[in-house]
Amino acid sequence: MGKWNFSVPEGYFDDCVALAAQLPGGKLTTRPLFALTPRDYPSDAGTTTDTRPWARFTSHVHALNRDSPEHVSYKIMLLTRHGQGFHNLKNQEVGDEAWDSHFSLLDGDDNTTWFDASLTPLGIAQATALSEQWLASITADGLPVPQTLYTSPLARCLQTSQHCLKPVMDAHNQPYRPMVKENLRERWTIHTCDKRRPRAWIAEHWPAYIIEDGFAEEDILGRQPREETEAENQTRILEALGDVFEQDGSEVVAWTFHSLAMQALLGALGMVPFKVQPATTVALLVRGEKEA
């Protein structure tokens, strides 16, 4: 695979950094129109009569791909953070200091398990509510139905994808077959919530999911005795993006992954990273150029 260089063209989406700064905890929630900035496009005159903002933007992206050199492509990336997990709940209960120094290193307590944390009932409700936002925007705004789905292998993301995106795909008679990608995992911080279960467990419990080639049976990253640096996380997440641009011809791609991993992606793309609330979707246009 050749090397891909990525950028985020400006002028298509609202300033999510500024929007996040106005919200509690500085964390963005899913915005109306998924923060798409209403505007005109050069492709408007020669495309469909569908005047909904996302329909026109999707047609514009199609025109960009049609008119670009073979080594350049554009993808609409719909990025979703998982809903609240039991690790998030325990962190809120005990506070950051106790969580980081003690509880995050345990598998759980007498009441709760947060090793490879699952969604809480609230997390499931959040993912379900987000699905309803997607469905409403597809109808009202022309938000495109994703052509390809990818997810982190951690349980909370497998669940969030099911509760958020399966209803979207089902409602539009599209197959629900997310691909599980190791490099979409959360930044490794030696917390047990970020360890994953074996490949065989994922295959048994999530049979509708496609596990990528080369996915190890056991958790290699989870054996690392030190925290992953931000730079290492950025390198790993760019490898995942490079895989998608190299192997997937879809123009509209959905990722279900994690808060720090999303910040790593934004930083690696040259953007100012911002935080998001659980079960939040952020949309980007990403330009990829493959080196000769």
Catalytic residue list: 82, 186
CB count in 10 Å sphere of residue 204 = 10
Say how many CA atoms lie within 13 Å of 204 toward its Cβ.
6
Phi, psi dihedrals of residue 42, rounded to the nearest 5°? -60, -25
Q: Which of 28, 33, 32, 133 is nearest to 81 (CA)?
A: 28
Distance CA 203, CA 214 (A): 14
Distance CA 218, CA 223 (A): 9
The order of strands in the sheet holding 148-151 is 4-7, 281-290, 72-81, 252-257, 148-151, 179-180, 210-211
**Amino acid sitting at position 226:** R
List CB contacts of 54: < 8 A, sequence separation 6 or more: 33, 34, 36, 137, 141, 142, 143, 144
Cα dist from 252 to 27, 56, 78, 143, 218, whole Å: 25, 14, 8, 10, 31
Q: Which residues pair with 283 in a beta bridge?
A: 78
